[in-house]
Structure 1
Amino acid sequence: MSGPTGAPGQPATTEYDVVVVGARCAGATLGALLARRGLRVAVLDQATEIRSTLSSNILQADSLAFLNRLGVMERLRAAGVTTMSHVDMRLEGFRCREAFPQEPGDVGGAACVRREVLDPVLVDAARASGAEVRLGTRVVGVIREGGRVTGVRAVAGGVEARLRARLVVGADGRNSKVAEACGSRMYHVSPGERSYYWTYFEGADTGPRPTFVFHRWGDRHMLGGPADNGLYIVGVSPQRHERESFRADLDGSLRAHALRCAPIAEALAGATRASRIYGIRRFFGYFREAAGAGWVLLGDAGHFKDPAGGRGIGDAFHQAERLADAVGDAIGSGVRLDRAVTEFGRWRDRTYAEYYGLAADLGVAGPIAGVVPRVVRALHARGRVDGVLNLLSHRASVLEVLTPARVLGATGGQLLGAPGRRRAALGELRRLATTELRRRNAMRRPVFQSGLAPRPVLQDTSEPELSR
């Protein structure tokens, strides 16, 4: 880092290789990875203290393995994090209880880690790696020279400073100020069809095997499982006709909904709620233009999808690792750096397009497509359900699991049935094919939308915070 300079009366200027805006799971992680490569990195966040933020808090096997590679898993365990070894999955009439598949280097199948536990550990990792972390620092604009972004203007304690950098990274979430300042446009915007609520209980009976519960049947969607520090997360998504009752009586509605899921009801017998109830509704999924001359977007700043898949944190880690490699190899040349972040954007869109569709399919109002549980049932019968479970950790692609042959095979019985069942099966196949073609065309020929993503409506109870 070069020391501050500036003419009298002008904001001081400090030089870096990379300025990262946002010190949460995307930004702090990238800061740590870049600093370990020897780069001069500043990580900025307007929060004066890293606390809880809107998040499903679910981490899959690949995320836990990444945290282990980052060297923070023991610190997280010391902070009360436990991992889950099994999954209890229900899709419509099919239900199975299985061990999470594990690969070399894995340290668990899944975990629920509240962001007030996870994010400070990542911030400390960034600092320990050599990044300069500045909390209480609000970015108010970017610096441009000759059409290129060359830094940011930031205010801390009422004093403005200029931070120059070869690259500015926007890791500042759905309503990214960096995206706005750089003129990044959204595309493939997809309105969410459901609302989601979650909270934590203490005193839950988690049984002999820590198990992640994921049940989706009819118009119901629920999850549950052990969280950090002995807590138990419960997440529910109301049916359409229940949405108004949820707003009127959030606590009673959430409890009644959760108790309709047998494994969650068993875990909660004798448990008491230990936190406020969090919620998100009227949200939008989107992609944003990922990069330009001197800037790039990371995590939710550049891409957000339906929370049904619980992949926000995992995707942030996945992207940070990829971007750190790209930037670290190209930081010495503006041309190579621009080429690297442009290719990062192409990789992001290729990688997440089908998972974006999968999350939307899981988050559809009403039941999921009937062919999905039929394919999963058939795979389970052949001892091959690991591929389905690997979808949750993005270690298998949708088309590797829901192959055309498997879809047709799972539909064959319907096609040979009564005329009504045959018509329904053919209609479902047509809808699936039409949706897939529409999604592929949307990614190949994006329709851009100016402005920020619509801000989601957040809801929580008005009672004081109960969690420890």
Structure 2
Amino acid sequence: MTKPESAGYDYDVVISGASLAGSAAAILLARRGVRVALLERHSDPEAYKVLCTHSLTACAYPVLDELGLVPALEKAGAVRNQARWYTRWGWIEPKAAPAGPELPYGYNIRRSTLDPLIRSRAAETPGVDLLLGHQVTGLIREAGRTSGVRVSTAEGEREIRARLVVGADGKDSAVAKFAGVPDKAYENARFGYLAHFRDLPLPGGISHAWFLEPDMAYAFPNEDGVTVLAVLPDKKRLPAFREDLEGSFLEFVRALPEAPPIDSAERITKIIGTVNYPLHSRRPTAPGVALIGDAALTSDPLWGVGCGWALQTAHWLTEAIASAATGRGGRDHLDRSLAAYARRHGRGLRGHQYLAADFARSRPFNPLERLMFSAAARDAAVARHMHLFASRLIGPLRFLNPVAMARASAVNVKYRRAAASSSPLP
């Protein structure tokens, strides 16, 4: 049996970023016997990401379950994220089939609750050293590969050596930059602003999204009676928002179909956002380096998928490299494992990102989207199929498979015939 190579390494894996992706990866790796240094540039263990959709799509539920976080989320008041979506054909309202299982769900929970929760779980996990106030300032390079990090701390500079460095440090990843990983950016022709409101009732108490072609908006109920309300207009509206942010935000929301009663609710945060949020894609590996979460792929915030993908990519990385990260099999084994992770990452997310980048051009629905969205507004089975895609439980190929498209076509033909037969004669 090949023995682990341990000499010269402080840890098996060092992870930069102790938010969702980094903390999840640390927990999962340590449970498999990997020694992990989890670095967080903030010194406050309660630090959290502010600009976020605060939603965990259903694709992340299996990872939350494996992490053991589901009971804690429920106890914290996380809201199961059932949703309805407005379109020009009416509302799409996915519901479970009669006598069928409930629809898969994830959770809406604010990052102020979620981030400290998962970070504390990581800190409590044997085999994980949570190092707060540690900011990566460079990588250690040997023989053409990364073998550790240089970090800045309150006590000064230090080096931490490891077989693998994981970048879980967001869309502006320092690890990716220092490793020379190319970044492919896609322009986002929308901008976005959001705020948190208390006592903002929504029909059914569930999430809402408005597809206004090309403008977008969503309202996600969260724990403690707080709703995250976001608007994502086409950039042609940007001058008005820059002139009067609050007035433009409120006017946009009031004009939504079945608009939430924003004027009677209590706004408990500032209106925050960004006018430039491009989509980023990077190859998720380099020699001695892996990227997870937004460091590898940052999608359009209108879809609310970032938190779920952070957890999924942490899980995919763990499954691929846990054995190799302990040193068994040497560098060749680790390199093969990293290649396996890169393939899994591409299969899972490349198609979704392609569609998101295309829709980020701020255009009306294309013919395929019109087919599926209109049918989903008219047919319960198509609505359930769309729910699986919106939850990222199925990819674009399964979403647009021939059977699904044939059913959508039949639904629309039947609808048009019924509408024609009910129209009064001239």
The 5 A counterparts of 1:47-446 are 47-49=42-44, 50-84=47-81, 86-99=82-95, 109-130=105-126, 131-187=128-184, 189-207=185-203, 209-266=204-261, 268=262, 270-331=264-325, 332=328, 333-379=330-376, 380-381=378-379, 383-403=381-401
Structure 1 partner of 2:421: none
Which amino acid counterpart does residue 133 of structure 2 have in structure 1? G
CA–CA distance in structure 2, aligned partners of residues 408 and 33 of structure 1: 42
Question: How far did residue 51 of structure 1 move?
Answer: 2.6
Q: Secondary structure at the match of 2:78?
A: coil
Corresponding residue number in structure 2 for 1:426: none
Contact 1:371–1:411 (CA<8 Å) still a contact in 2? Answer: no
**8 Å CA contact 2:253, 2:260 repeated in 1:** yes
For 1:44, the aligned partner's letter is L
Which SS does the other structure have where 2:382 is aligned? coil
Segments of 4+ moved more than 4 angstroms: 104-108, 404-414
Deviation per CA, 1:49-85, whole angstroms, max 9, x where unpaired? 223332221211222442233112222333332223x
Aligned equivalents of 2:103, 2:65: Cα separation in 1: 7
Measured after TM superposition, the shift of residue 411 of structure 1 is 7.8
Distance 1:100 1:160, change over 3 A: farther
Hey, what's the Cα distance between the residues in 1 that align with 2:398 and 2:318? 28
- Is the Cα contact below 8 Å between 1:224 and 1:232 reproduced in 2? yes
Unaligned runs of 5+ in 1: 6-12, 418-468
The Cα offsets for residues 238-294 of structure 1, whole Å up to 9 and x where unpaired, read as 24432111112111211111122234424x362121111121222222221221221
What SS does the corresponding residue of 1:222 show, helix, strand or coil? strand
Does the 8 A contact of 1:94 with 1:373 survive in 2? no
The residue matched to 1:98 in structure 2 has which SS?
coil
Which residue number in structure 2 is paired with residue 21 of structure 1? 16
Query: Secondary structure, in 3 states, of the residue corresponding to 1:385?
Result: helix
Counterpart residue identity of residue 32, structure 2: R
**Number of equivalenced pairs:** 398
Q: Conserved in 2, the CA contact under 8 Å of 1:65 and 1:105?
A: no
Q: 1:100/1:69 Cα in 2 relative to 1: closer, same or farther (>3 Å)?
A: farther
- SS in structure 2 of the partner of residue 140 of structure 1: strand
Q: Which has the higher contact order (CA 8 A, sep 6+)?
A: 2
Distance 1:241 1:376, change over 3 A: closer
- Say if 1:14 and 1:162, in contact at 8 Å, map to a contact too: no
Distance of aligned partners of 1:234 and 1:223 in 2 relative to their CA distance in 1, 3 Å threshold: same
Quick one: distance in 2 between partners of 1:14 and 1:330?
Answer: 14
**Hey, what's the Cα distance between the residues in 2 that align with 1:136 and 1:16?**
18
Q: 1:390 to 1:409 in 2, by over 3 A?
A: closer
Distance change >3 Å, CA 231–CA 294, structure 1 → 2: same
Hey, what's the Cα distance between the residues in 2 that align with 1:263 and 1:74? Answer: 34
